[in-house]
């Protein structure tokens, strides 16, 4: 396996596992994926002892790989947990959302989107799986994690290269 994939895979999996543990995201918040990307670059550097400096492009690529793996694993975990428990945060927040739509009389657009959400909720409650829900969480995770992973890659490259300069 290419040496660039392995740190990304390990750190991405680690970050995805941490996102499923309640309370961890409360502490790490938006820094979980960037931290995983920084560790991934550190591991990549460790795996190549002759490497003095890491190119910024390589850092971004490693961050992106970590983020993509994290997004895929995190989405997979959420889909499995939803399948087992037959509930998700969408199901729990639905009665409140319905009440808001009824109370505020938000019009036909709100009613239509409410119908789509209701369909997702009923599929989750009956079968434990909704294709639209699975697609939405995977897509949103891929987008946001990729952005934060690349940013983490940039920070990691800067930090590790500066560290080498000072040594």
Side-chain-facing half-sphere of 52: CA atoms under 13 Å? 3
Kindly give, in sequence order, each residue whose CB lies less than 8 Å from that of residue 38, ignoring residues fewer than 6 positions away: 152, 155, 156, 159
- C-beta of 26: minimal distance to another protein in Å? 5
Residue identified by tokens 């550097």 is: 45
57 binds another protein (CB under 8 A): yes
Q: Which of 10, 76, 114, 123 binds another protein (CB under 8 A)?
A: 114
- C-beta of 71: minimal distance to another protein in Å? 8
Which residue stretch of 5-13, 79-87, 122-130, 134-142 sits at the interface with another protein (rule: CB under 8 A)? 134-142
- CA–CA gap between residue 160 and residue 166 (Å, rounded): 10
Handedness of CA 134, 135, 138, 144 (dihedral sign): negative
Could you report how far apart the first and last alpha carbons of the chain are, in Å?
A: 31
Site map (CB under 8 A) of another protein, residues 72-101, x = contact: --x--------------xx------x--xx
What are the respective helix, strand and coil percentages of the chain, to the nearest 5?
Answer: 85, 0, 15
132 binds another protein (CB under 8 A): no
Interface with another protein (CB under 8 A): 19, 25-27, 29-30, 33, 50-60, 71, 74, 89-90, 97, 100-101, 104, 106, 109-110, 113-114, 116-117, 136-137, 140-141, 143-145, 148, 151, 154-155, 157-159, 161-163, 166
């Amino acid at each position: 396996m290419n040496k660039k994939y392995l740190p990304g895979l390990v750190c991405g999996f680690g970050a995805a596992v941490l996102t499923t543990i309640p309370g961890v995201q409360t502490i790490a918040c938006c820094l979980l994926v960037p931290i995983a990307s920084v560790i991934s670059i550190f591991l990549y550097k460790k795996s190549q002892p002759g490497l003095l400096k890491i190119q910024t492009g390589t850092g971004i690529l490693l961050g992106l790989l970590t983020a993509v793996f994290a997004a895929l694993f995190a989405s997979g975990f959420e889909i499995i947990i939803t399948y087992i428990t037959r509930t998700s945060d969408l199901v729990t927040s639905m009665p409140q959302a319905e009440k808001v739509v009824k109370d505020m009389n938000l019009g036909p657009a709100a009613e239509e989107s409410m119908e789509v959400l209701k369909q997702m909720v009923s599929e989750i409650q009956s079968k434990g799986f909704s294709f639209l829900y699975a697609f939405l969480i995977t897509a949103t995770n891929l987008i946001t994690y990729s952005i934060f992973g690349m940013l983490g890659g940039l920070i990691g490259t800067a930090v590790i290269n500066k560290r080498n300069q000072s040594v």
